[in-house]
Structure 1
């Protein structure tokens, strides 16, 4: 592979101030400071299991709640993958992983198609894990899918423990992305000749 698949993203609004740096072909190293403890943990394991180097420094209006910070980091992560992959020439495009974590089993499939869709079929009974609102996991992946322009399916096959379910989701998504971004040819994997629309 000749091209460095890296991206730096900055996003500053009245609600958040975010810097994100991604190296797709990294070694799983991370430096994460988001102001949301549970999200820090999820992004650290996302980087480790995907083999991505990831740096995120975020400040947000967490005095209101964590929604804007979590959603905007999802936006930045999606933007980073889209930028780092460029025209997606040579990538496998599709990725799939079935991840067991104790009593939990998470299924994930992703397509770097250039078209956005999220199927999030992971009902979680608990409202919070620690101080993190569990519905924000879906908001994070919705923002990511929209900005990365991917088709993303996340399905909870089994699971009771809230921490296990969300951690399993982040790990399964990371592993699916790792599979999808493997360079295996010198062609764009589409009969249309493009993966940008």
Structure 2
């Protein structure tokens, strides 16, 4: 559990620099160069992500149950996951969906975290999904208060992007739901 928690804290901490110290982040990027900063940021993110995943896998072997989710909550979780992949894709393919949601990636993380909290009741699940939920809500609030938000590289805005976002997003959700989640995570969301 220690490796999991350390990896989670470092990963979320790195991703919180713009929330708690945006000026410091910008100063480091100027000092190191944008590519130098992104390289260091990426290496630290990957290392902490690997530690978090490996530690989570170990923690899953000795689960500490906090609550037992009902079948109704598991079905609700499946429903809440429907817009997650389209929202993730909308962050990079601007159209009406991105404009209306304002920050589709953070909304996707919030829905992903809430749905997984509804469907899972172990301590490590609460730490993982609760941590991401808290981070995403804090970042959403932070982004709405920032005077300058760094742009996310994306395709040119187009009405066709909304169709692509929905079709590809729902296709990805079906792929994860019906095949990838069981193969990669080791648990089928469908029971």
TM-score (normalizing by structure 1): 0.32
- Between Structure 1 and Structure 2, which shows a larger proportion of helix residues? 2
The higher radius of gyration belongs to: 2
- Between Structure 1 and Structure 2, which shows a larger proportion of strand residues? 1
